[in-house]
A and B are shown apart, each in its own frame.
Chain A
Amino acid sequence: MTTTTMNETGSTLGVLARQEIRNYLRHKLFWFGTAMTALVVVSMFAWDDTGSAASYMIAPGAMLGVLGLVIMFGLTRRSDRAAEAAGAVAVPEHTRTLALAGAVVVPFTAAMAAYIAAIVAWNARPPHVWVVPPGVSNLFIYAEMFGDGVICAVGGPLLGLLLARYLPKRGVAAIASVLLVLVTIMLQGNFAGGQPYRVFWFWTYFIGQLGWGADADGSIHFKTAPGNPFIWVLYLLVVCALGVVVAVFHDPESDRIRLRKVALGLVGLALVLGVLTVYVGYTDVLVNPVPCANC
């Protein structure tokens, strides 16, 4: 009997997830974001300076992540309205939440394509000698790009899902997108010392022409901002998982006791990984001794 119920739930979830994936794919904002991301991919290969791929993942982060927040908020509200219209026999909220979370496969796929293109560009058009400081490997760059591009393209929609569950008010998605960018831009690692605490945020830079001042002779050097991008990627994955659990937890009919335990475990794990991101590995600012020639 239990097996039958689980199979039915699984089959409902599968059907709903496919429906939400189709809804996501039909959204005009998704295609606008994808087109803009593709445009930036083209510019990265065609006319941008070599090495631009290191900072390029802002494209999927903004165009698939920030817009994804709004898309998912809208899809969730639509799912809720449909459930209300269907009445008491409707699918439980936690199943609909999981189906909506499953739709992030759409921005994930688009962001992965952009990520692969960025890695190809990084290798096909190697960066200038003044870009990467000594001691920084290609894997370091790839990890930063994965966190900033792929995970943020998934994290944005998951944040939209959370907001729609806990703050289902008119205009919340638009205001949230502004606040998200407002905080993110302050935590790029662009201020004195590279802001080590910034790694607790969803998006940041680990390398770049970070602007906390030129040398006495006026020269500007590329540098790393403190923090370990490899552990940061794990931290972001845990935060995404936590987002899904908290969104499912909203349903009073869900197994809240178990979900609370899982959520607390994930919060603990996220905190540990965040602290490790700050203190393990790349704790210092690495500066490229070759001054930037076109900054």
Chain B
Amino acid sequence: MSSLLETFRDEGLELIQELEAALLELEETPEDSTLIDRVFRALHTLKGSGGLAGFDNVAGFCHEAETVFEIVRAGERQVDQALVSLTLRAQDHLKGMILHEFGDEAVDAEVTVELVAAFQALVPYQQNPLETDHEEAEGRHDGQATYRIRFRPNPSLFRQGVQPQFLLGELALLGDSVVVAQLDNVPALNEIDPEECLVYWDILLTTDYDEDAIRDVFIFVEDDCKLTVQKIDDGSQLDQPEDYKRLGEILVERGDLTESDLGKYLQEKRRLGEALVAEGAVNDSKIKAALFEQERVQKLRKERKTHDAMESIRVKSDRLDKLVNLVGEMVTVQARLSQLASSRVDADLLGISEEVERLTWDLRDQVLNIRMLPIGGTFTRFKRLVRDLGTELEKDVVLITEGGGTELDKTVIDQLNDPLVHLVRNSIGHGIESPEVRNAIGKPRKGCITLSAKHTGANVVLTIADDGAGLDVARIRAKAVEKGLVSAQAELSERELFNLIFEPGFTTAEEVSSVSGRGVGMDVVRQAVDALRGSIEVRSEAGKGTAFALKLPLTLAIIDGLLIDIAAENYIMPLSAVEECIELTRNDTEKSHGRNLVKVRGEIVPFVRLRDEFSFNGRCPEIEQVVIANLEGVRIGFVVDHVVGEHQTVIKNLGRMYQDIDGISGATILGDGRVALVLDLQKLAEKAEIKENSKFT
């Protein structure tokens, strides 16, 4: 067999010849639909074969020409001299593209672009929808879930050449499945048509894949069957009761029994299953399927519960706090040991010091891990809140939670409760429209609030999203002007406008209700998140909804810090906010004419001189360092004398006297016993901004 490339070359050149012949004839008789078909088919085949043989350029190029001829074929465009000439040029070009692979000179890329543009100009609008994406992501679900599937094919299924057992086999590959065949549609033997598929199936599937992956198995028969897929147990939710539904409930949910019949049979003294079968209300195999489901879910939930119980013991949280404090002390002492060891020429001491360092870090990670709790418990409490508020405000709202297994430090979780309550209240109060309004604008009656948590690096991002009306930018602006927060002429980006809602006393609600409108809340949310050294970001689209993303550190006690110094004093910056460090020479400073701006790879970044901020006198070094930090999506530089390096920072509170100093969030003890202050970069940036603004107004 010749190689695939050679096969394609031979076929391609043949097709190009065919294309040329058809085009030349078409020039004579432009109305001839057989000729138009020939041109189209040649291009079409060339595209398909080119794609398969790895000639993506040929395939892509043919696609443009093919699109035009598809329009011609549909009678929406006439063939004219110009089109024939253009396609003839394209045909020569295609030949060059193919032969280039076999040693000929490459085609002129500019000509490719020109021809493609010429074809595209002939397409009145986007003719072809997006090409189907073949790189479908594996539909993995976060954690294991159990689905109840009923696959009820049309009787004609066999005549479609489809064998249901292969589909069920395919489904079984996704996870642990139980299949029960339902035979109640199968008639008496003398009435059976063996060519018809009269059986249908109930399947119970426990899988890591999501619902789309399950539906994909049935993609070829989706129009020829009734398929129901219902999630009946979600492994990532921790709050489910251990017992599952009763048999009667399951049968009603499955549509195998009506509610009123259930009531009737429950009054009998016999067991429900027996009564139903004896009376012929529900047949045996349906009960079997329902019992399988009941048993499976009960088993799964029990397993999860014992799994949790077996591996945990209850410890008072203050004991854990003490342990964390001790580890903190130890990290500090270890830093001293490391510093001492590195200053002496003693290999043994250095060896021991490194060993202690490694163990301390391990110990630190383990101890901090103990304090980690899944956020799911907090999420569960919101179900009730959403339900109650929904009733109170006459709104139909459903709460969806995702990532309940994500773990956060206990202290962080405890302090998160209030801000989350505020945000969820706001979503229901301001965001979600009333069912009537939603109906009128074509949204589903039920509003939806999603609470989700996920890890990103050293942070956890909590998102509270609703599918409500979105923030009203114009109203926020008007209100902000009215309150004197911004001037009427101020040019504000969408982001800056959104951030105004966090200003104290800000509200756009016309009436005060018990839920929202007092304007206390959003600023409290901001404060609480700040206190947790987190940040908050708002995304909103009018009519589509609003999302608040809270980015929070995994832990509060010990952080990775960047040690810097200014005028021989040490400070710590949280490393999670730092993007990079660059140099700033005196020359740079002079060139910038007193404006605090620095160019970082083409982007202008404003900076704050911490020397000025802290009112240090004395000369700054010839070459200073700018630490570029990313604060809620905005890049800001902080000018320091030196960047010393990374430092494991055990954060100590400053005590009541000093805790309200803006810009300082705590302190830590360095290896040599000195104290370094931990900087709150967000606050420092805000202070600098205020100063900067007042300079110009």
The answer to whether A and B interact is no
B residues near A, CB below 8 A?
none
- Chain A interface (Cβ within 8 Å of chain B)? none
